[in-house]
Amino acid sequence: MKYACKECKRVMAQKECYYCKKESGSNDWGGLLIIIDPENSEISERSGYTVPGKYALKIR
């Protein structure tokens, strides 16, 4: 897990985001937010994450 997508904030191993289908990954990011159960998570509700996964909190 080296890159974080600048568009959807997903954390991933490669620069190309499988979700956005482009090279939108940045290796300058910080903070990891793990969403396991979006329907029962207050954090995901507040931040708008509806799909389980790993997300970066800050991306430059």
Closest residue by beta carbon to Zn ion: 5
Of the two residues 13 and 40, which places its CB atom closer to Zn ion in the complex?
A: 13
CB of 41 to Zn ion, least distance (A): 20
Distance CA 52, CA 54 (A): 7
Strand partners for 55: 10, 33
- Which residues here bind Zn ion, judged by CB under 5 A? 5, 7-8, 17, 19-20
Selection from 22, 21, 24 nearest residue 56 by Cα: 24
CB of 54 to Zn ion, least distance (A): 12
